Amino acid sequence: MTPTATATASPTPTEPAVPSPTASAPAESEFCGAAIAEIAALHKTGTPEVVLVSGTGTLTGWHLISVRGEQRFDFPDGFNLDGSVSILSGDDARPNTDIELFWTAKNVWNNSSHDDAELYDCAGALVSRYDDGG
């Protein structure tokens, strides 16, 4: 018996797989971590009442709380803090600007009792607390 030759297929060269680039939005924690802010002052008496917040970055999703009354101010979407901004309550409505944000025409802060202010980032973490000393 004579051996028969068998044909074998030669491998076809293939290109290595190249991962395709994908665009992704920053994770929420990265977005929140990009802004730095703190409550610099709280003026409860007089008109308007003013909370001064200083820092830098986009404060979308951030909020401010009057601890005693649990009133909440949500920063406008896309608001970019560059220095400081005054959050006003207890005065006539006015348009928001880069340095003033309108909360409400009602008085928010309790002037006869202790009423601290708290600032929370977009992940819900407390980042600043202002003791009103009352």
What does residue 73 show for φ and ψ, rounded to 5 degrees? -115, 125
Task: Specify if 90 maps to a domain.
Answer: yes
The dihedral formed by the CA atoms of 129, 30, 123 and 84, expressed in degrees to the nearest 10: 40
| CATH number, domain containing residue 90 | 2.60.40.1260
* Tally of domains in the chain: 1
pLDDT at 31: 59
Model confidence, pTM? 0.75
Average pLDDT per consecutive 10 residues, the chain (134 residues; last block may be shorter): 48 44 46 85 91 96 92 95 96 93 92 90 95 80
Task: Specify if 4 maps to a domain.
Answer: no
Residue 123 is part of which domain span? Answer: 30-130
Task: Specify if 10 maps to a domain.
Answer: no
Structure tokens of 8? 């074998």
